Structure 1
Amino acid sequence: MTLALQYCHITVDDMDEAIAFYRDALGFKVTGDNGPGQQRWVSLSDPVHGGPELVLSSPYAGRSQEDGDALRELLVKGVLPMIVFSSDDLDADFERVRATGAEVLQEPIDRPYGVRDAAFRDPAGNTVRFHQPLKR
């Protein structure tokens, strides 16, 4: 059996701001825009590296009002799982994203466990990290 990750879902509260961040700051390409209003979901792909598609959706997309409300509370608190991207030039990628006005959570730093990493917050409050293996 061969398994590969196909989609990574990211909950957002303002679809247009989220699209701008993932498309303009991170370089993803919108490949689908579906559903009306709070049921809207948008898929994006990495046109250079391929890999799993990102799927942006509202807390209410495919969920009950009660579940959507609970998910929205977690989103507002900034406690949903983070997304981590690998980078082959973390410092350049960091500067490119910072130049878009994205909220910086952590400047690039070398970690004792063998990576250089940095972090931003997307417009919805999700943590977005970049990792690059340190040269040994």
Structure 2
Amino acid sequence: MNFASVRIITDDLDRLVKFYEKVMGVSAQRPAPVFAEFVMPSCTLAIGHSETVPLFGEGSTVAADNRSVIIEFQVHDVDAEYERLKPFIEEWVKEPTTMPWGNRAILFRDPDGNLVNLFAPVTEEAIKRFNGRD
């Protein structure tokens, strides 16, 4: 089994796509007006408009209603990403911090309120843990 993607459902697809294009520094693929994908080597971040929900089962998901998942991206330099994104991110949940498990991280919310974590392993143990994952 291969982990393929995480999909966010939103009422404002264009706004969320533009946000993640700025955060990720890549353009989304738009195979349909109601769907976008950021295809990366490690995984795909998909964004679907709430109009697509009936395709999965009426009421199966609700746009902008997540408080249990963190969307995480491994980066090379958390502090550099923080400086790059400072003019763009309105509210930081966590400014650059080294976590107890050895990752340096910044956390913020996307326009729909989803929590986003940019992190880099910085301690010897964390670096070993992530060796070969990228």
Shared fold (TM-score greater than 0.5)?
Answer: yes
Match of 1:9 among 7, 10, 14: 7
How far residue 127 of structure 1 moved from its aligned partner, in angstroms, is: 0.6
Whole-angstrom distance in 2 between the partners of 1:94 and 1:5: 28
TM-score, normalised by the number of residues in structure 1: 0.76
What is the aligned residue count? 123
Whole-angstrom distance in 1 between the partners of 2:90 and 2:31: 23
Q: After the TM superposition, which of the residue ranges 101-110 and 112-121 deviates more from structure 2?
A: 101-110
Structure 1 residues not aligned, in runs of 5+: none
- Considering only aligned residues, what root-mean-square deviation do their CA atoms show, in Å? 2.3
TM-score, normalised by the number of residues in structure 2: 0.77
How many percent identity over aligned positions? 24
Divergent runs of 4+, >4 A: none
Whole-angstrom distance in 1 between the partners of 2:59 and 2:91: 28
How far residue 61 of structure 1 moved from its aligned partner, in angstroms, is: 1.2
How far residue 63 of structure 1 moved from its aligned partner, in angstroms, is: 2.2
Partner of 1:29, secondary structure, is coil
Q: Deviations over 1:71-103 (max 9, x none)?
A: 13xx24x41522111111011112212222343
Residue 117 (structure 2) pairs with residue 129 (structure 1): yes
Residues 14-93 of structure 1: pairs in structure 2 closer than 5 A: 14-35=12-33, 40-46=34-40, 50-63=41-54, 67=59, 71-72=62-63, 75-76=64-65, 78-93=66-81
Name the aligned partner's letter for residue 67 of structure 1: G
Q: Deviations over 1:16-68 (max 9, x none)?
A: 11111111232132122414xxxx1111234xxx3222110123413279516
Partner of 2:111, secondary structure, is coil
Structure 2 residues not aligned, in runs of 5+: 125-134
Name the aligned partner's letter for residue 135 of structure 1: T
